[in-house]
Structure 1
Amino acid sequence: MSLRLGVHGAAGTVTGSCYRLEIGNQAVLIDCGMFQGDKTLKQMNYDAWPFDPRHIAAVLLTHAHTDHSGLVPKLTKAGYGGPIYATPGTVDLLRFMLPDSGGIQEMEVERLNRRNQRRGLGIVQPIYTVDDAEASLQLLLPRDYNTWFEVLPGLRARFWNAGHILGAASIELEAESGGETLRLLFSGDIGPEHKALQEIAEAPKALDVVVMESTYGGRPRPKLDDAGRRAALAAEVNTALAAGGNLVIPAFAVERTQELLADLTRLMAEGAVKRVPVFVDSPLATNITNVFARYLHKTNGVQSSERQPFQGGSLHFTRSVQESMQIEQVSGGAIIIAASGMCEAGRIRHHLKNNLWRANATVLLIGYQAAGTLGALLEQGTNPVRIQGDEVQVRASIRKLEIYSGHADHDELLDWLRDRLPVRRGLLLTHGEADAIAALRSAIAGWGEQAPMVTVPKLDEYYDLTAPHPRLLKAGVARKRLDRYAEAEAMAGHDWHNDYAQLMLQVQQQLRRAGSDPERRRLLRKLHRVLGKEN
């Protein structure tokens, strides 16, 4: 029986995780994630599937993050009706996350269509709606960690705790092919050794093929225990509050927000941080926090005396738009936590518009910022920036604290892989940018005879896993999409949308600095000549 792997996401980029595993004449998906980052990458979510969703027999999800699960409603909308396997924690999170994602699609498309109509452009449809997302939830089937279950005849699976977020898993598969059993492992996102609310990652040894994430390849981080992590957070919070402004923290609604709340409530209870209002301005984060509260007895880093770390007089959870707008009246002395973690959508953009121009404000970036996102631009020191079409001067202090990352760093990724050895047939490095993958590949090559053969797949390539090493199939590829891969390469830096926004800012600055109207007209005439539109 043939065994082929198609890589339809997280190749050349850190988002859009999606793998299609063919076993004979049947196929399953491992992950069904949304592309996130710059506008070029996000546009890929509107593309037609590079396979027929109606011919997929089952879906297995590593975890609930949108870049691993966010296109599930699009898949079911296109005709998929089979089971979607995930851990109980992932299922509970998705019951809130997928409808929320559908609501975001509807809202963003509605706003875009209003602009398009004013410009005389055509309207667009959302990738999926809230109703589409609700319908997809009916297919979710929870499966516990460390328990084998049959996916298809000749294919069984087992979830291992990946230590990344609540419910996150690495997926072990055993496939019968040609009279032998091949053992595969999809790492999902691997958590670090010291995680505020999760145990350390686990996975099996002695595998044939491993598909491994590489997000933080080449990037080691300081190794801090729980006390060290809280001390580092306290130092940032106290410095920000001493400046007199607000502390704005862009944070993913899942796990990152809950980790911050657990540490902040403890620091305030101990007097290490002044008690100030903490606004969690995200309806999704509020719902997800309630899910986390139900799982606290299974999580790491929360002592028996701290079973309610998400409650307290200083915490304020906002749901309505009116409650969110009231926060804008607070000009200093508050901590504002809102999604998204890369500042690309949600209420965080409103809070950034309200605080970035204030010299006494602080923005604390606490996670990975994909290239081209607003978070990455702030991290790089871009000034001014454009938010929702408006130019905003950056006078606030921009700080970075990576100790809350949900991903293993370079050294931890290598340690995780060493514990999987031997990897007999090959290692596929995915879910990483080019420099991260190159750093890991170089380090692994230094292992000598122990080193597995490393392959770096491109988007929509298929590999024969029955070969001695994963072999690229030159013929019979289901769909060659070089255009999709060319678009994905935008992850290496800004896409044209970023370049356009930067150009508009530079034009505005030059016009303001010009000493007279005739000088401004001369500048505009030069631009017209470049564009071939001189009047």
Structure 2
Amino acid sequence: MEITFHGAAQTVTGSQHLVQVNGAKLLLDCGLFQGSRQETYYRNQHFMYDPHSVQTLVLSHAHTDHAGNIPNLVKKGFSGPILTTPASRNLANFMILDSARIQENDAEFVNKRKLKNGEPPIEPLYGTEDAEAALRLFEDRDYAKPFDVAPGVTAQFYEAGHILGSAITVLDIKEGLRKIRLAFSGDLGRKNMPILRDPTPIADVDYLIMESTYGNRLHKSPDEAHTQLRRVMREAVERGGKVIIPSFAVGRAQELIYSLQQLIRNRDIPSIPIYVDSPLAVNITKVFGKHKELYDTGALRALKEDDDGNLFTAPGLTYVGSADESKALNDRKDPMVIISASGMCETGRILHHLRNNIENPRNTILIVSWQAPNTLGRRLVEKEPRVKIFGETFNLKAQVEVINGFSAHADQTGLLEWALALKGRLKKVFLVHGEPEPANALAEKLREGGIRDVHYPGLHESVAL
């Protein structure tokens, strides 16, 4: 049995782990690398194995860095089942098609410049037809119910608590006379976060592939994040400015809507208009409304108290549809909140809102998500005095606030608590989905906790079990 780490290896994005066992190939996730366009285009374009040879893809959740390269895999020959939870499949229906449109638009943008320079055009990584072909391969699998994925291999999903439908994957493998239990954390969520249930503890695991995004960081508690959000909102209203929030369309947007409505309902902040300006976020929020069975007890309680039985509708909350409606927000001068994608400020309507609001010191840019290196979002976090948007340079005069407490990833304490519960039988941990500093810090803490064999694999590294 062999595992090859083809993505999220010594970096965060591009999750893609190939398991070879009993003559079969099983892929855990197939995500996009994100960051510099030139570097990531090549990485995303080329697979280091033949997609035809993969029997099954098991998907932990619908985020782009875990699912976003599936259409390219299908385009290049993969035709097996894509197994995931029902909520993840419903999210992927929107997210993968949205990603395809972004790929097509990016290629069109680059080719305009290439045409001027007399250079040959590039093809999009994949298009809408490839995305539609990929979505036809998706199949639902429920939590905590075993299902076959390869000869001698069964899998089960458990709640990961990261986003709606996210799953920890446990593989029970029979290889000759050997029995092996391999777990893949996917992205592990946090306890006591709004809306979603906590990650499920698992047991009796031999090998663990585990994320390490925040392996060196302790998050503020959800209550502290709530308090910080209240402060930011009050100060923004006092300045008479707008609050521009770049947000992932899945999970973070819904959590922000929920938290802001709580603050308004409890009169902790003035009743300020909230605009969700992301077609994808609007569709994703509808999916959240369809999967109430995945809510935690607090969200279910709030649901009972809500007049219309929907956590994501309220007076003063507007879901923006057309591009004209989006542009009209830039003509408004009154205080408001604009939640828009993409979360790392690389594409989407958020770029227009940043361009129109970044040079006004009354405004606030509120960052509530991890920002990959070489993205506009990371440059805003680092408060670079001048940034480029649509190729034009702007002075950063708006206030920049960062709230890390909204993170949907477990921090060092959460990761350790979850992993150390497995240490009795656990033989080895492979740390993925983390930059070197957090991953190495987490590895040291795991060793101190009694898990001696911790490895941080390199990109395309293979390990025999």
**Into which bin does the TM-score normalised by the smaller protein fall?**
over 0.9
User: 2:271 is matched with which residue: 272, 275, 282?
Assistant: 275
For residues 306-455 of structure 1, the aligned pairs below 5 Å read 306=306, 307-447=309-449, 450-455=450-455
User: 2:151 is matched with which residue: 148, 153, 159?
Assistant: 153
Q: Measure how far apart 1:26 and its partner are.
A: 1.2
The amino acid that maps onto 1:429 is L
User: 1:36 is matched with which residue: 34, 37, 43?
Assistant: 34
Q: Measure how far apart 1:112 and its partner are.
A: 1.3
**Other-structure match for 1:47:** 45
The 3-state SS of whatever aligns with 1:11 is coil
Q: Measure how far apart 1:411 and its partner are.
A: 1.0
Does the aligned pair in 1 maintain the 2:164–2:294 contact within 8 Å?
no
Q: Measure how far apart 1:397 and its partner are.
A: 0.4
Does the aligned pair in 2 maintain the 1:171–1:187 contact within 8 Å?
yes
User: 2:252 is matched with which residue: 249, 256, 270?
Assistant: 256
| Counterparts of 2:367 and 2:378, CA distance in 1 | 9
For residues 198-237 of structure 1, the aligned pairs below 5 Å read 198-225=196-223, 228-237=224-233
Does the aligned pair in 2 maintain the 1:33–1:70 contact within 8 Å?
yes
**Other-structure match for 1:521:** none
Does the aligned pair in 2 maintain the 1:424–1:452 contact within 8 Å?
no
Deviates more, 1:271-280 or 1:254-263: 271-280
Q: Measure how far apart 1:134 and its partner are.
A: 1.1
The 3-state SS of whatever aligns with 1:231 is helix
Does the aligned pair in 2 maintain the 1:214–1:436 contact within 8 Å?
yes
The amino acid that maps onto 2:428 is G
The 3-state SS of whatever aligns with 1:342 is coil
**Other-structure match for 1:27:** 25
Does the aligned pair in 1 maintain the 2:428–2:451 contact within 8 Å?
no
The amino acid that maps onto 1:289 is T
User: 1:129 is matched with which residue: 116, 127, 130?
Assistant: 127
| Counterparts of 1:124 and 1:148, CA distance in 2 | 43
Does the aligned pair in 2 maintain the 1:162–1:203 contact within 8 Å?
no
Deviates more, 1:114-123 or 1:246-255: 114-123
Give the structure-1-normalised TM-score: 0.84
The 3 A distance-change label for structure 1 pair 423 and 393 is farther
The 3 A distance-change label for structure 1 pair 439 and 333 is same
The amino acid that maps onto 1:256 is R
User: 2:137 is matched with which residue: 124, 136, 139?
Assistant: 139
Does the aligned pair in 1 maintain the 2:193–2:222 contact within 8 Å?
no
| Counterparts of 1:313 and 1:424, CA distance in 2 | 51
The 3-state SS of whatever aligns with 1:174 is strand
**Other-structure match for 2:57:** 59
Q: CA RMSD of the aligned region, Å?
A: 1.3
Residues 238-273 of structure 1 deviation map (CA, whole Å, 9 limit, x = unaligned): 111211111000000001000111111222222222
Give the structure-2-normalised TM-score: 0.96
Q: Measure how far apart 1:47 and its partner are.
A: 3.0
| Counterparts of 1:433 and 1:229, CA distance in 2 | 24
Q: Which runs of 5+ in 1 are unaligned?
A: 466-535
| Counterparts of 1:267 and 1:417, CA distance in 2 | 35
For residues 280-291 of structure 1, the aligned pairs below 5 Å read 280-291=276-287
The 3-state SS of whatever aligns with 1:328 is helix
**Other-structure match for 2:188:** 190
Q: Measure how far apart 1:202 and its partner are.
A: 0.9
% identical aligned pairs: 37
| Counterparts of 1:312 and 1:128, CA distance in 2 | 38
The amino acid that maps onto 2:281 is A
Q: Measure how far apart 1:38 and its partner are.
A: 2.6
The 3-state SS of whatever aligns with 1:211 is strand
The 3-state SS of whatever aligns with 2:227 is helix
Residues 304-363 of structure 1 deviation map (CA, whole Å, 9 limit, x = unaligned): 213322112311112222121111112340101101111111111111111110010000
Q: Measure how far apart 1:56 and its partner are.
A: 0.5
For residues 110-125 of structure 1, the aligned pairs below 5 Å read 110-125=108-123
**Other-structure match for 1:457:** 457
Does the aligned pair in 1 maintain the 2:225–2:404 contact within 8 Å?
no
The 3-state SS of whatever aligns with 2:139 is strand
Does the aligned pair in 1 maintain the 2:10–2:435 contact within 8 Å?
yes
Does the aligned pair in 2 maintain the 1:210–1:426 contact within 8 Å?
yes
Deviates more, 1:115-124 or 1:419-428: 419-428
Q: Which runs of 5+ in 2 are unaligned?
A: none
The 3-state SS of whatever aligns with 2:77 is coil
Q: Measure how far apart 1:156 and its partner are.
A: 0.4
Q: Are 2:257 and 1:265 equivalent residues in the alignment? A: no
